[in-house]
Chain A
Amino acid sequence: MNKNNFKEKLYSIYSRMYCSGSIYVNDVPVIEHYGNETIDGGYGREVVINNVLLESGIYKISGKMFPRKGNMTLTEDNTMMLQFYCADKDSWKASRFEFHSKIESPWDGLSENITYPSYEISTEIEIELPYVLDGWQNSADLSKVDKTTLFEEVLDFYKQIHMLLKTGNATKFLELSREKLNLNEQAFYFSEERKNNFMKNMTALFHEGVTVEPFSEKELILEIMGNGRLVRLMKVDKTHPLKVKSTNTDDQNIVEIELNLHKRIAKKGLSII
């Protein structure tokens, strides 16, 4: 399979975890698996990562393993494996192939009876894309900002987004999400159908059957990512602090709202990317 013949390359990571953990592209998280779902069983999911690949180049992939919920350490029973795929958008199934060797945690009984608080596996992948996206590449370096000041600014932003969701200001929320929408359209080569689906999902957030969960300022952690260009808040339990609940279904699913923020210009305000 020659990926050079692909018109619209889609890169993805297939992860299998028997633990809690996060997968990062450079230092931007693309897969996060925490909470009650980690108590038993395994996790397997493939995620297209084009939205964090802003241009061709070498990217570091890190898989960070943590104990299952309720456990203090990793053991030989906890594993992680990552596989790397490339496909042409218009012929996903036919063209999809593994473009880079898989990586996995080293336990084959070799480290039996040894425990770890965490463990990291990593590799570097080479990416070739037909586009260059500005994204957050030229945004302000937030790692140089006083952390207390930045935390308060980010917290204020989250509170306002919570209010927009709570009051049903869909028009404003969509406009604030425009940068992210544009980025995704380019990175995933959105068709009109995909754009419509995106809008449907956005509309669903404001449906009568969706309620916004209370926002708590407690137990929040400021995370700076993307070489200092991205920032977000996370709960100490590694869930996202903004959540909505669908009350139309029996299971009352809680959906976490993922926000990554940046500043195009240092002296300007934060925006969603």
Chain B
Amino acid sequence: MKRRTFIEKSGYGILGIYLTAHFVSCSNAKKVELNSLLGKSCELIPSGCTRIGEKGLVFYILNDSDFSLMDIDVEQAFVYCKKEKITGFMIQIENKGQAASLLDEISTLYEDYSLNYENEFGKEYEWHDATRRIRLSYNNSNNLPRKIFYSETVLNSDLIF
């Protein structure tokens, strides 16, 4: 339930600045909802997506016409598969200064979040629900590309992002 609330609040709140006309088409039945894919078969990944990797961990690049996630306007998503199961995905967003506000908002929705680390380049936060690990990190150094990274992975996966 909290997750649903997060999606709605963040979608219409802080992340609302990313809403575009494209939002209207997010109900397109052909789009897959990224966070509904975890743990499921890789066959659910839209056909025609670029696949990178031959064995072991492989990942697919989904373009914005293929997926939706929290109504965020993102150009690409990277979906990871291992042994024919979807084990995680990651998106990147241009950081226009909204990272701190976004984290504040998320922290009001999830009780058990934690700061994984803070280093010279940025920070990473993490929280869990019953089945997944969620991470949000961002670069905040002036000398680096300003990016926010959001990922969800199945619990206990070996994924490092």
The residue in B119, B120, B139, B160 that gathers the most chain A C-beta atoms within 10 A of its C-beta is B160
Number of A-B contacts (CB under 8 A): 84
Residues of A within 8 A of B149 (CB): 167, 169, 171-172
Interface of A is mostly: helix
Task: Given A157-B160, A160-B161, check contact A217 B53 (CB 8 Å).
Answer: yes
A233: min CB distance to chain B, Å: 12
Determine whether the beta carbon of B139 is less than 8 Å from that of A168: yes
Does A208 sit within 8 A of B, measured CB to CB? yes
Binds A, one of B9-17, B38-46, B55-63, B104-112: B55-63
A207 to B142, CA, bound (A): 11
When the two chains form the complex, which single residue of A153, A156, A160, A170 contacts B144, counting CB atoms closer than 8 Å? A170
Determine whether the beta carbon of A217 is less than 8 Å from that of B117: no
Does B123 sit within 8 A of A, measured CB to CB? yes
Determine whether the beta carbon of B160 is less than 8 Å from that of A169: no
Determine whether the beta carbon of A170 is less than 8 Å from that of B55: no
A94 to B141, CA, bound (A): 39
Determine whether the beta carbon of B123 is less than 8 Å from that of A171: yes
Determine whether the beta carbon of A163 is less than 8 Å from that of B59: yes
- List residues 154-182 of chain A with CB under 8 A from any CB of chain B: 155-157, 159-160, 163-164, 167-172, 174-176, 178
The 0/1 profile, CB within 8 Å of A marked 1, for residues 92-131 of chain B is: 1000000000000000000000001101111110000000
A186 to B55, CA, bound (A): 38
Residues of B within 8 A of A152 (CB): 55-56
Residues of A within 8 A of B117 (CB): 175
Does A35 sit within 8 A of B, measured CB to CB? no
Q: Count contacts on B: residues with CB < 8 A to the other chain.
A: 31
A156: min CB distance to chain B, Å: 4
Determine whether the beta carbon of A160 is less than 8 Å from that of B92: no
The residue in B54, B57, B117, B123 that gathers the most chain A C-beta atoms within 10 A of its C-beta is B57
Determine whether the beta carbon of B119 is less than 8 Å from that of A175: yes
A168 to B59, CA, bound (A): 17
Does A188 sit within 8 A of B, measured CB to CB? no
Determine whether the beta carbon of A175 is less than 8 Å from that of B124: yes
Determine whether the beta carbon of B119 is less than 8 Å from that of A171: yes
Residues of A within 8 A of B82 (CB): 156
Determine whether the beta carbon of B139 is less than 8 Å from that of A160: no
Instruction: Please name the 8 residue pairs, one residue from A and one from B, whose CB atoms are nearest each other, closest first.
Output: A171-B122, A156-B57, A171-B121, A152-B56, A168-B145, A170-B121, A170-B144, A203-B143
Cβ contacts A to B, 16 pairs, < 8 Å: A152-B56, A155-B57, A156-B56, A164-B161, A168-B92, A168-B144, A169-B139, A172-B137, A172-B149, A172-B161, A174-B120, A176-B160, A203-B143, A206-B144, A206-B145, A217-B55
